[in-house]
Amino acid sequence: MSEPLIALTGVTRSFGSGAAAFQALRGVDLTVEEGDFVAIMGPSGSGKSSLMNILGCLDTPSGGSYRFRGLAVESLNRDQRAMLRRHALGFVFQGFNLLARTSAQENVELPLLYRGEPAVRRHELARAALASVGLSGWEHHTPAELSGGQQQRVAIARALVTGPSLLLADEPTGNLDTERSREIMDLLAGLNRDQGITVLMVTHEPDMAEYAHRIVRLVDGRIASDTRKTAVPAEEGAQ
């Protein structure tokens, strides 16, 4: 049997020491298979951000094990974790995090620039990534010339341009209205369905979580429930 994409076993994360210590994660066990779409929900302070930071190799657990395709991530050094992020992970944030005076194409090319890809290859891959999110013809527009929904599409294209195995989305619709939110969720669901990209998304919006295959709820640093759905939402199934 092949290794799962993600396997967390007894993962803890604490901050501070002594009387001031705070335990953000308290023994999290979580397995995510290739091609899954998981929504993580929970109240403020439940550990969602700490969990996402560990999954994204931006932080390391205080205890327990994190395996990515069987690789013990907690044993990697800083440079090795950066290499894993660069080649296997894509990130989408609530605030888009686009460079304001830089074109859509140049924003999408940034991860490839860090990887040392030649200019011709960067241009080719960035244009293809923008096309995959419906933004052909918008390559030379700056963020100020794009709507909020279009800016998030650029951010998703930037996350996709390196061909990641896992897309980590942190409140990807938090700054969008209802119509734009559904467009972004339809896009993420389509990427998961058609390209097999594993999506792990933090959201506080139940309507957005309904697009996922599984809903994992955190409470006080522990998984309170892990529910796999039996049907896809109407918007996704209608495509």
Mean pLDDT of the chain: 92
The architecture that CATH gives domain 35-61+86-237 is 3-Layer(aba) Sandwich (3.40)
How close are the terminal C-alpha atoms of the chain, in Å?
33
Can you give the pLDDT at residue 26?
96
Which pLDDT does position 144 carry in this prediction?
95
pLDDT digits (tens, 9 = 90+) for 143-185: 999 999 999 999 999 999 999 999 999 999 988 999 999 999 9
* Mean pLDDT within 100-105: 95
Per-residue pLDDT at 1: 60
| Confidence band of 95 (pLDDT split at 50, 70, 90) | confident
* β-sheet bridge partners, residue 53: none
Q: Model confidence at 122, in pLDDT bands (50, 70, 90)? A: very high
**What was the pLDDT predicted at 199?**
97
Question: Which of 75, 113, 107 minimizes the C-alpha distance to 93?
Answer: 107
pLDDT for the residue 229:
84
Looking at residues 7-26, what average pLDDT do you find?
A: 91
Run of H or E including 137: none
Q: What is the dihedral of CA 238, 226, 57, 1, to 10 degrees?
A: -90
Global pTM reads: 0.89
Confidence of residue 232 (pLDDT cuts 50, 70, 90): low
Average pLDDT over every residue of 63-89: 94
- Assess whether pLDDT exceeds 60 at residue 237: no
What whole-number distance in Å separates Cα of residue 87 and Cα of residue 7? 19
